[in-house]
Structure 1
């Protein structure tokens, strides 16, 4: 029997390796495009705000309105994906968000800026939680944190690579193709690849392992059985939509994700401005391209630490500390960043923040699947992501308002630190409850059979 089990494990591992090489590079590239189109507004703000007459508050509101529409469309979008399949629905999401991302080039003022950000959020809703759900169809639990971290590499890479690209397009795009400003040219160009890749999704993605012609029949069966067995052992009954949405742990994890995402998007939308402010504070001068390169530094470091944290979490099987500790580290970095007396120390502290938020997220997404499965997982994961991403609205808006009110970024950074500390504390509480429930089940079974 041991030999049979070992043989099956080898078949599963072979299937997992093929799935990683087949799916992750492509999905990562899709998320790279997604994150560039979502956050390039941060670089556009360096010249767009003046061109459109946007205050920091108006810009923060527009940047954050994306997440309001995202909130309302997230759960239905993920439920549809579960029912119709990832291939068709992800293709739809990418094509529509690419069109709207390019259309941002034509905004004329506050109102049109707000409208296009709302439309972009509605179009994109369901993409990230849909991929998280999709990965649970393909990879055993013991490898999921690493798999999600590899997928999530698209976030720091999008900044490391996307930052200089975006700023170069802005710097050199004035007058190209008839656009009267470089930021307009950037928006138009960076939306086009999402449309093209969206159509490729229809041909390159496979919904479930049993449909994968690039796996052998033995690999398809072994992988499906492995994941189904794990789900039945970890989650003792299939969860429905209502049950997934009403679970108190889903509510708790929504608060956790809110705190982490708040920090993540304040970093994405305002780090270019923080770097730009270093010029006046320390009497130095940067070009737009140099601001893009400096902004990339925290994310380059974060990419490495994120993979290390996820691999260690998978190896030890521990999740909550691998989320809480990065959250606390990120909070400490952002709290002290603007009080540093050197531009190098400011960037070092912001790097700690980037390391914290990026390291916490891949491991965080392993927590919902410990108690959700089926369509309940689709609904619960989407609810966590949608409520959490309200932080993507509140973060830019509140930070922009505080910047206008105080004339600096310090108050906004303190709010980020406080919410990330809250996220770390709550995940410890929610994770502890799960451990207590797991310990109670064997005792209950033993009592039942006496």
Structure 2
């Protein structure tokens, strides 16, 4: 972070406001659509498993195998985005994942379920780290925590909007034109991603110089601010980034955070239904509550982190809160109100780790190193999306309860907090270019 911040001028304030207004709403909506397509399987599960005679273990493996495809293609996808430009590559990602997500309505066997979830991961690979990288083309490190928070609130907003929407589709569309409610869910929720993907080349510029809505003074100011970020440390090759143990520690911290995120994302509807809520629409409405709390907590924690120029304690506090909330939810049984309070704390804690965490890699890597390093951290971290639901599903088949699986997730969050507080892991690596 800059050690001697420059005075903020009216031109700078107005220019960044213009950039934010032009870019963030569209990126935010895209992320809402992406996350909805990724996790609507949690709502489809309420009816899909009985219709297709799938076990909890089949569901957990299918939900998680998405992240194997995501892991394998994440780094090459982000490298291609850096080389080919954001507009066309993000458009390709969104259109392809929309088509695969819609095709999930045709699943009849576990094998087909696994294949399509794997292909969905391949299709979406590179989207999230690509946007994180794209924001580094516009914002210096001192502004990135807030921008990351605004973008990443797409996750809880997807829960706030997507929960009731998914519940309504599941409630209202069963049997329409001979299709099950979960089939309509996959079809209808793929349409926004398809439309946004087609619109992307017309909305997003590849960078500052190609933004026709900025004048010469504004472009120069943005470039000067990016150039003013500290360039500590020596030049580094792409290979040295991939071999740097500190980058791997960041990936380990992120893995622990993602254990919590996907434990919540894939099982929140199940946890609420287990408290005695039978109607899918009611489940959808109630899932919006924890996500609404998370929207507020993400923004407040990111602002505090930027204001104090401090990351590790903010991240650790959010991880500990997430672990406490998920553990407490296992003690509530059928007490719906207490369960929702615990799940709200857990969801808010888990999701609040994300914008704080992503200020680290995005402020210490640049150029090709950033494209590869951010994608590597994200792809390794997102393997938790395979591990977390698989463990919860396996343990639920074994114990007939989600409690043991949630305890494992809570322990992972505590481990992430400990890694964040370790000096060598919490300090940002020297800024590297490749």
Same fold (TM over 0.5): yes
Structure 2 unmatched runs, 5+: none
State the shift of 1:428 in Å. 1.6
**What CA distance in whole angstroms lies between the structure 2 residues aligned with 1:77 and 1:436?**
24
Going from structure 1 to structure 2, the CA distance change for 1:369 and 1:14 (only over 3 Å counts) comes to same
| Match of residue 402 from structure 2 | 409
Calculate the aligned-residue CA RMSD, in Å. 1.7
Query: For this pair of structures, how many residues does the alignment match?
Result: 426
SS in 2 for 1:339: coil
1:168 matched residue in structure 2 = 168
Residue 359 of structure 2: SS of its match in structure 1?
A: coil
8 Å Cα contact 1:238-1:373 kept in structure 2:
no
CA distance in 2, matches of 1:121, 1:18: 33
Distance 1:437 1:65 in 2: 34
Say if 1:238 and 1:374, in contact at 8 Å, map to a contact too. Answer: no
Q: Aligned to 2:330, what secondary structure does the other structure show? A: helix
Q: In 2, Cα distance between the equivalents of 1:6 and 1:326?
A: 31
SS of 2:99's partner is helix
Equivalent position to 1:387, from 377, 380, 386: 380
Residue 183 of structure 2 is matched in structure 1 by: 184
Alpha-carbon distance in 2 for matches of 1:125, 1:401 = 26
CA contact (8 A) 2:247 2:429 kept: no
Q: Structure 1 residue 217: deviation in Å?
A: 0.4
* 2:330 aligns with one of 322, 335, 338: 338
Give, in whole Å, the separation in 2 of the partners of 1:58 and 1:221.
Answer: 54
Question: Which of 345, 352, 357 pairs up with 1:352?
Answer: 345
C-alpha distance in 1 between matches for 2:429 and 2:117: 43
Question: 2:56, 2:396 within 8 Å by CA — same for their partners in 1?
Answer: yes
Q: 1:306 aligns with which of 295, 298, 301?
A: 298
Aligned to 1:448: none
> Where do 1:16-415 residues align within 5 Å?
16-176=16-176, 178-230=177-229, 233-279=230-276, 285-340=277-332, 342-415=335-408
Structure 1 residue 111: Cα displacement: 0.8
1:432 Cα offset (Å): 6.0
Q: Pick which of 382-391 and 315-324 moved more.
A: 315-324
Q: Relative to 1, partners in 2 of residues 1:436 and 1:48: Cα closer, same or farther, differing over 3 Å?
A: closer
TM-score, normalised relative to structure 2 = 0.95
Q: Which has the larger radius of gyration?
A: 1
User: In the alignment, is the contact (CA less than 8 A) between 2:94 and 2:124 conserved in 1?
Assistant: yes
Q: CA deviation at 1:179?
A: 4.1
Q: CA deviation at 1:13?
A: 2.6
1:144 is displaced (CA, Å) by 0.8
Decide whether the 8 Å contact of 1:91 with 1:199 is kept in 2. yes
Gaps of 5+ in 1: 280-284, 439-450
Quote the Cα distance in structure 2 between the aligned partners of 1:316 and 1:348: 29
Whether the 8 Å contact between 1:239 and 1:374 is mirrored in structure 2 is no
Q: Is the 8 A contact 1:78 1:129 kept in 2?
A: yes
The change in CA–CA distance for 1:236 and 1:102 in structure 2 (over 3 A counts) is: same
1:202–1:430 CA distance, 2 compared to 1 (3 A) = farther
Deviation of 1:180 after TM superposition, in Å, equals: 2.4
Aligned equivalent of 1:447: none
**Residue pair 2:33, 2:192 contacting (<8 A) in 1 also:** yes
Query: Greater helix share, 1 or 2?
Result: 1
- Structure 1 residue 247: deviation in Å? 1.4
What's the secondary structure of 1:354's corresponding residue? Answer: helix
1:81-130 CA distance string (max 9 Å, x none): 11111111000000000010111111111111111100000000000000
Q: Are residues 436 and 252 of structure 1, via their aligned partners in 2, closer, same or farther at CA, if it must alter by over 3 Å?
A: closer
Q: Deviations over 1:332-369 (max 9, x none)?
A: 11112111262211111111110111111001000113
CA distance in structure 1 between the partners assigned to 2:49 and 2:86 by the alignment? 37
TM-score (norm 1): 0.91
Contact 1:78 1:126 in 2 (8 A): yes
| Partner SS state of residue 207, structure 1 | coil
**Alpha-carbon distance, 1:39 to partner:** 0.4
Cα gap change, 1:430 to 1:242, in 2 (>3 Å) = farther
Distance 2:422 2:211 in 1: 40
Conservation of the 8 A alpha-carbon contact between 1:53 and 1:109: no
- Superposition deviation, residue 415 in structure 1: 0.2
